[in-house]
Structure formats: structure tokens, C-alpha cells
Amino acid sequence: MDVKLLSFGFGFTAEEVARQNPGWSVLGTRRHVPEDSSSIPDNVSLLTFDGLTPIPDFAERAADITHILLSIPPTDQGDPVLSVMGEQLARLPHLRWVGYLSTTGVYGNLDGGWADEETPYNPSGVRGKRRVDAELAWLAAGLDQGLPVHVFRLPGIYGPGRNQLVSLQQGKARRVVKDGQVFSRIHVSDLASILSASMRQPSPGRAYNVADDLPAPPQDVVSYAAELLGMDPPPVQDFDSADLTPMARSFYSDSKRIRNDRIKSELGVKLAYPTYREGLAALYRRDF
């Protein structure tokens, strides 16, 4: 598959996509392009996009783009890429796929119940409401402007350098327990593979839940990471009395389990890390 990918918001996920596909040509945006780009994959070129002004000479720089990955979060003004660059994206002559990275927060709180892609929107916070608005705006742009938009609803993402093994070693891990609380999660390597699978078989207008097979209480994940490290897990803290920032506390307002059947049945995905146990064990073996 000949892919020339433009990634708005070249971060953790987009970098993994680029690393998994070294034969692709990748153009990535950041607010500030670092002087030292030695950590960036060889197939990636970076350019500046601040979310406020169009990219200069975009028509020329992106003339051969075939795929676009969108991972810049919306603001209270809406989606910055759509509002600033939407019309120019619609004019790209070779565009075959647009992937919008949303969040499972669009489903809100289900008290531990299951959500599939047909579960109604019911966001419980400002960030979730912004994501719903952004999803709907991109899907509408797909219908109105012919953009081949796909939506991916993501839970917590972990992977190299971003996992409970690291937080334990840094002394930052906590075991906060809220009765009945469960989260879904996905290893960044599996996430990148899912996105690549969708690029190989586009289905514009489709939404996909992205998650592994085992939603779990967060304290269980920390305990397993501590077991791998051969250390005692941090003490249990009750959610109601735990000293949490408002942002950290807000993550516990939603409890749900995410169904992932569609990525398997439609995209043929086989997860390399079907639960956090395989994912953390692999990260431990590679010094996380």
C-alpha cells in the first residue's frame, strides 16, 4: 500500500504508526518543531501548525497526501484542524482515508456496563462534550465535503515510557480504589496496528471502538506491574478520601467496559496484547 500520511498532532500514537510502517512517507505537525529531531523516525518530516493559522504553502506541501491522522484535541472553539484547514483538506486530490482519534468518553458513565459503537452519546464532562461535537463535525464534513472520515474512540493508551512500570519506578503510581470502577485500555502498538488495518480497507463514515479484551480496575494494573518489578505495590487509597487533583478525580466519574468486536470482525485485527498483563510483561522485558 502506497501511503503518504499527514498526521496533525504528531505524538505518541502517530509516532508508533510511523515506526511500524517505515516504508511510508509521513508528514507530521507540532506546535513547535524541535531543533533536535534525532528521536523522530527517519521516514518523518515535521512542520509547524499552531491550530490558529493555516499551514503556509499547504497545497504544494501536501499535494500527494493519501491519508490523514487527526489527534489534536478540540477546544471550546471546536476542532482546530477542521476550522482552520478543513477546506484545504477537502481539495487534496489523492486523499483516501481520514482518521479522527476521539475518546470513549463520548459514552459517559455506564456504571461498569458495556459500550459498543451504537451506544448513544452521553458525555459526562466538558472534554467529552467537546469530543462529541468534534466527531459530529468531522462526520458532517465527510458527508458535505467528501472527506473519507473514520472515527476511532480510544480509552487509556499505554506503551513504551508511558505505563505503570515507569510510574512505579518514579514513585508516582497510586492504587486508588473506587467500588465498581473499571477502565478499558489499549497498548499503543495495537492501536497503531488497528489504524493501519483501517487504512488498508477504508469504510468512510464508520466508527470503531479501540480497546483490549479486559477492562479492569486501575488498582489491579498497578498491582500486576509491581509484581513484575518484584516490589510491594503502593498502599490502597479510598477514592473518596484520596488527595486527587480535579483533573485526576474527573477520570473516575465514568466507569464502563468497551466492546472491541468491530475492529476484529471488520478489520481483521488480532491484538498482540489482548490484556494489560501481556502488554506490561512485554514492556518489562524491554525495560519499559
Residue 104 included in any domain: yes
Count of C-beta atoms within a 10 Å radius of residue 121: 14
pLDDT tens-digit profile of 85-121?
A: 999 999 999 999 999 999 999 999 999 999 999 999 9
Task: State the Cα–Cα distance between residues 138 and 121, nearest whole angstrom.
Answer: 15
Range of the domain at 60: 4-155+187-212+258-271
**What is the spatial distance between Cα 204 and Cα 206, in angstroms, rounded to a whole number?**
6
- CATH number of the structural domain spanning residue 98: 3.40.50.720
pTM over 0.85: yes
Q: How many domains does the chain have?
A: 1
In a domain, 237, yes or no: no
pLDDT tens, position by position, 260-275: 999 999 999 999 999 9
Tens of pLDDT along 13-46?
999 999 999 999 999 999 998 877 778 999 999 9
As to burial, measured by CB atoms within 10 angstroms (0-12 exposed, 13-18 middle, 19+ buried), residue 112 is middle
CB 112 within 8 A of CB 256: yes
Nearest to residue 39, comparing CAs of 59, 11, 61? 11
Q: Is residue 103 part of a domain?
A: yes
Residue at 164 is within a domain: no
